[in-house]
Chains A and B, each alone.
Chain A
Amino acid sequence: MSLKIIVLAKQVPDTRNVGKDAMTAEGTVNRAALPAIFNPEDLNALEQALQLKEQNPGTTISLLTMGPPRAAEIIREGLFRGADGGVLLTDRAFAGADTLATSYALACAVKAMGEFDLILGGRQAIDGDTAQVGPQVAEKLNIAQVTYAEKIEKIENGESTIKRRLERGVEVVKAKLPLVVTVNGTADECRPRNAKLIQKYKYAKTNSEKQNIDVSEQALYEKRPYLNLTEWSVKDVEADLEQVGLSGSPTKVKRIENVIFQAKESKQISDSDNDSEELVKELIANHTIG
């Protein structure tokens, strides 16, 4: 059975290799020092979508991302790996959104994209680490959700079988479509970009990116319509201005501080059973473990 899949993806600063200049003196993220990348767990989600596409001929995959105009790169990265299209949600009014405003905007965009069977996204983004956006999108669309997915094992007769990776083990669940699934980093790594697809889509651009091109380049976009990437504003998705961006975000960041972990004191225990047991009890009591 063919599926319509939407993959939620976010462009994030690469926080995995943070150097000493990663934060500004004011305590905000120094974006210039960190390259913008495809959020790693969103790539895991994309891979699950691509595997479903291989198993279910006729399936189409669209990416949905919200961000500044340069986040169009996320759509291209998806196309290079086998997605069929995508939408960039970009508007100054979307800026400064917390998870509530983000999930509202994404839900509006999903509605504007038409019918779908499955929405996939990474568990969480490496810049905010909230893991809230996927579940909130499901709530706003009023559909079921499966979180912490490691593998979508199959989809048959409108029902999915999904393996979840939980803290203490693995759980296999069944859920009816339509459905939101958030995918863990333990899922299969995303496949590399494909040589033919990168040649096919390397010129794909949004209207904002096409502003400075010359006439001869314009002809290319008329001749190859698939090179035109969709870009939507608040108006295009019929969102309420009050509920997007900063005005739609109840979360206010009060203060950010740099925390440097340092060992302050050390404690030696003997290798007796008694001492070990005492230590375990102490660690449980202060919530270090357990």
Chain B
Amino acid sequence: MANFYTDNSDLKHHLNHPLMERLVALKERNYQDAEKYDYAPFNFSDAMDSYEKVLEIAGEICGDIVAPNAESVDHEGPQVVNGRVKYAAGTEQNLDALVKAGLMGISIPRRYNGLNFSLVPYIMAADMVSRADAGFVNIWGLQDCAETIYEFANEDQKQRFLPRVCAGETMAMDLTEPDAGSDLQAVMLKATYCEKDNCWYLNGVKRFITNGDGHIALVLARSEEGTKDGRGLSMFIYDKNDGGVTVRRIENKMGIKGSPTCELVFKNAKAELCGDRKLGLIKYVMALMNGARLGIAAQSVGISEAAYREALSYAKDRCQFGKAIIEFPAVYEMISIIKAKLDASRSLLYETTRFVDMYKTYEDIAKERKLEKEERDEMKKYQRLADAFTPMAKGMGSEFANQNAYDCIQVHGGSGFMKDYACERIYRDARITSIYEGTTQLQVVAAIRHVTTGTYLNQIRAYQAEELKPELAALRERLIAMTDKYEAAVKSVTETKNNELIDFQARRMVEMAGHIIMGYLLLLDTNRNENFRHSAEIYIRFGEAEVEKNAAFINNFNASDINTYKQ
């Protein structure tokens, strides 16, 4: 009888962030749905109470069903039977429970049968599901794609597809192909319009498609014959009920083995256009990917949580040299670093989620009425912050998840290398997070312009100006010193105007910004909740050393040194 929401008070802390009052009021349009729907909240505290109650349901399912199934799902995995995916028995059971609990379409508006929740509780549920089984979250979390349908499809399509997702049908996003991975401009799947049938037909192959046999798929395909780049691609909705797509094989992966990664063959598969032609990659996939990246950031935090708990419980139980190994400095330091990285990446995750939710909610309101000038300005501010923070949360969160899973095995010693403990599964599951939905290197590519244009620095200065309890001032002083080093390092690189050098130093600069931002977020968490003090102190000390290291590398580097690295 475990509950992954109630056993982790940090979640409640993040759910109750001061910005939530405005965010929820915007999302609920000042609570006007209460008149129309018996399950809609009538004020802020009612909405927050509902979020908590629903998270308790999700937490119970994670603790009692998804987590206990994780091991058998990892062993059994999905299979291809007659061109269709058959999930592992545990996966079926997990999905059934989450569907019956009504935990699909969490953020979709009520008029399409969704819960109309803020993204914050949705991401929190994803955080818990990932802790329970990081492979399963992919299947459940693909409900994200419904957001893309909500944002870009026409009303008729929204009415046909969204209630199905809310009722429990799963989704997929069919983007990558054998020759189009990180470079989606190379997508070749062919979309042909048939005047006679007044619909599109898709032909070709997709590869590495998570949950490729889902009921409703968003497919990126080349609608403009003869084109070769991203401008010839459009987005389509494929409904499995129409047929035409078969699963050729499921990849044999290192981790997240419960999640079926499919190779799909499209043979005259009927599909409908979503949004406008030619905007498939340049507009819709970019939006889809940003949502998916936030999902991977949540998955990473959930994995870190699982790693932390496994490491802590083993270190308390395992005795060597006459005492529990957690008594040894080498072990307790390792565990507190895991915890500090976990807390830091979680604070960044929810900060990012709030930014994304704020601007998306404004965007949605803008479809109903013209925004006031202040509202437009605020929307732009949050959109910029969301663009800057999403790749950082995904990039650094996934690297931390990997480091934490590695350290978790290290705490277990030889036992951790055996298949007997959950840590080896966590380690394998963690590995993909820094690869898919854009590798860490590609997250740096997305983030670096916010180093050079100053988005990060401005936000750091804003955090610096927040009011703090006097006893936290010393920690802030250290963050200010770190910021000065970051600013100087960035200046020295950018003023060379040497793009190759900027690319070469990009990850170091983005990480410096990340350490400072996460340090501030933990400091602000501590200001609200004393429980974060240890993590704030430990993380800031760790970040200080990292910033120092990166600054030293940059300061001791001449542009010409780059040549020694070229192979």
Is B366 part of the binding interface, using a Cβ–Cβ cutoff of 8 Å? no
CB distance from B128 to the nearest CB of A (A): 14
> Which of B38, B57, B115 is within 8 Å of A193, CB to CB?
B57
- Collect the chain A residues with CB atoms within 8 Å of residue B50's CB: 198-199, 202
> Which of B49, B61, B115 is within 8 Å of A192, CB to CB?
B61
| Bitwise interface map of B from 38 to 50 toward A, beta carbon under 8 Å scored 1, else 0 | 1111000000011
Known A199-B39, A199-B41, A200-B38: A192·B101 in contact at CB below 8 Å: yes
CB-nearest residue of chain A to B1? A17
Q: Are A192 and B60 neighbours in the complex by a CB distance under 8 Å?
A: yes
Q: Which of A193, A196, A197, A224 neighbours the largest number of chain B CB atoms within 10 Å of its CB?
A: A196
Number of residues in B with C-beta < 8 Å to the partner? Answer: 19
| Residues 173 to 201 of chain A near chain B (Cβ within 8 Å) | 191-200
- Collect the chain B residues with CB atoms within 8 Å of residue A198's CB: 50, 53-54, 57
- Collect the chain B residues with CB atoms within 8 Å of residue A196's CB: 39, 102, 115
Is B100 part of the binding interface, using a Cβ–Cβ cutoff of 8 Å? yes
Q: Are A195 and B97 neighbours in the complex by a CB distance under 8 Å?
A: no
Number of residues in A with C-beta < 8 Å to the partner? Answer: 14
> Which of A195, A202, A226 is within 8 Å of B101, CB to CB?
A195
Known A196-B102, A199-B50, A202-B53: A191·B38 in contact at CB below 8 Å: no
Q: Are A195 and B60 neighbours in the complex by a CB distance under 8 Å?
A: no
The complex places the Cα of A191 from the Cα of B102 at a distance, in Å, of 11
Is B103 part of the binding interface, using a Cβ–Cβ cutoff of 8 Å? yes
- Collect the chain B residues with CB atoms within 8 Å of residue A194's CB: 57, 100-102
| Bitwise interface map of B from 52 to 77 toward A, beta carbon under 8 Å scored 1, else 0 | 01100100110000000000000000
CB-nearest residue of chain A to B100? A191
CB distance from A165 to the nearest CB of B (A): 20
CB distance from B30 to the nearest CB of A (A): 18
CB distance from A234 to the nearest CB of B (A): 33
CB-nearest residue of chain A to B101? A192
CB-nearest residue of chain A to B39? A199
CB distance from B102 to the nearest CB of A (A): 4
CB distance from B113 to the nearest CB of A (A): 9
- Collect the chain A residues with CB atoms within 8 Å of residue B115's CB: 195-196, 199
| Residues 1 to 59 of chain B near chain A (Cβ within 8 Å) | 1, 38-41, 49-50, 53-54, 57
CB distance from A216 to the nearest CB of B (A): 11
CB-nearest residue of chain A to B60? A192
Known A202-B49, A202-B50, A202-B53: A195·B102 in contact at CB below 8 Å: yes
The complex places the Cα of A55 from the Cα of B39 at a distance, in Å, of 25
CB distance from A85 to the nearest CB of B (A): 14
The complex places the Cα of A196 from the Cα of B60 at a distance, in Å, of 16
| Residues 361 to 396 of chain B near chain A (Cβ within 8 Å) | none
CB distance from A178 to the nearest CB of B (A): 28
Q: Which of B39, B97, B115 neighbours the largest number of chain A CB atoms within 10 Å of its CB?
A: B39
The complex places the Cα of A200 from the Cα of B38 at a distance, in Å, of 5
The complex places the Cα of A202 from the Cα of B49 at a distance, in Å, of 9
CB-nearest residue of chain A to B65? A192
CB distance from B165 to the nearest CB of A (A): 14
- Collect the chain B residues with CB atoms within 8 Å of residue A224's CB: 38
| Bitwise interface map of A from 224 to 266 toward B, beta carbon under 8 Å scored 1, else 0 | 1010000000000000000000000000000000000000000
The complex places the Cα of A194 from the Cα of B50 at a distance, in Å, of 12
Provide 30 A-B residue pairs closer than 8 Å at the C-beta atoms, listed in order of the A residue.
Answer: A191-B97, A191-B101, A192-B57, A192-B60, A192-B100, A192-B101, A193-B57, A193-B101, A194-B57, A194-B101, A194-B102, A195-B54, A195-B57, A195-B101, A195-B102, A195-B106, A196-B39, A196-B102, A196-B115, A197-B102, A198-B50, A198-B53, A198-B54, A198-B57, A199-B39, A199-B50, A199-B53, A199-B115, A202-B49, A226-B38
Which B residues are within 8 Å of any A CB, using their own CB? 1, 38-41, 49-50, 53-54, 57, 60-61, 97, 100-103, 106, 115
A-B contacts besides A194-B102, A199-B39, 14 pairs, CB < 8 Å? A192-B60, A192-B101, A194-B57, A194-B101, A195-B102, A195-B103, A195-B106, A196-B115, A198-B57, A199-B50, A199-B115, A200-B38, A202-B49, A226-B38
Which A-B residue pairs are the 8 nearest by beta carbons?
Answer: A195-B102, A199-B39, A192-B101, A191-B100, A200-B39, A196-B39, A194-B102, A195-B54
